[in-house]
Amino acid sequence: MASEEKHHVLDLPGFDKPVKLLIVVAPYYKDIADGLVAGAKSVIKQAGATCDLVEVPGALEIPSAIRIADRRSNFDGFVALGCVIRGETTHYDTVCNDSSRGLMLLGLDGLAIGNGILTVENKHQAEQRADPAGQNKGGGAAAAALHLVALGRKWGRTGKKMGFGADSILIAENEEGPTTA
């Protein structure tokens, strides 16, 4: 059984500048979502970071909410939380595949996202994975986002591109203030 297996867990990264994450949760199964959020918030606090929380109707809306937040706000990373339990139709496969694909595409586009959308066969599996004292998949998703933020800061630029296309201006910060690069 997966809950009895031992896994290597990386130590949380340290940060010299504040980190702010956005937790995007689909509380379709409210009790499961609450456990995922509690685990994520605990890990975020342990890392010395802060977070905001937003709820969306379902797992399919999570990637869109993250894209909107990235374009219109100043979050360093994102934690995607929710639960999809297999039902009697193929809708399960669509929701699992498309929400995961959406998050992966955003990640490949450079966003720091920890994916904590559970895809399970039954409610019992979800409860085990969501429990902060158990498998703590919400905490794991938060840790993944924090690690990706740390990598982005290690290898990234200090500014975001402004505008559209390849000739966009990069606004960078130096000791004298904003400059163009």
- Helix (H) or strand (E) holding 127, with range, is helix 123-130
| Token pair in block for residue 51 | 């977070």
Q: Which two tokens stand for residue 37?
A: 């959020």
Tokens coding 125:
């599996």
* Among 8, 91, 124, 147, the one annotated catalytic: 91
Alpha helix stretches (DSSP H) within 27-90: 30-46, 62-72
**E strands within the chain?**
20-25, 50-55, 77-85, 113-120, 161-162, 169-174, 177-180
Residue 91 falls in the annotated catalytic set = yes
**The token pair that represents 3 in the structure block:** 């809950």
**Residues designated catalytic:** 91
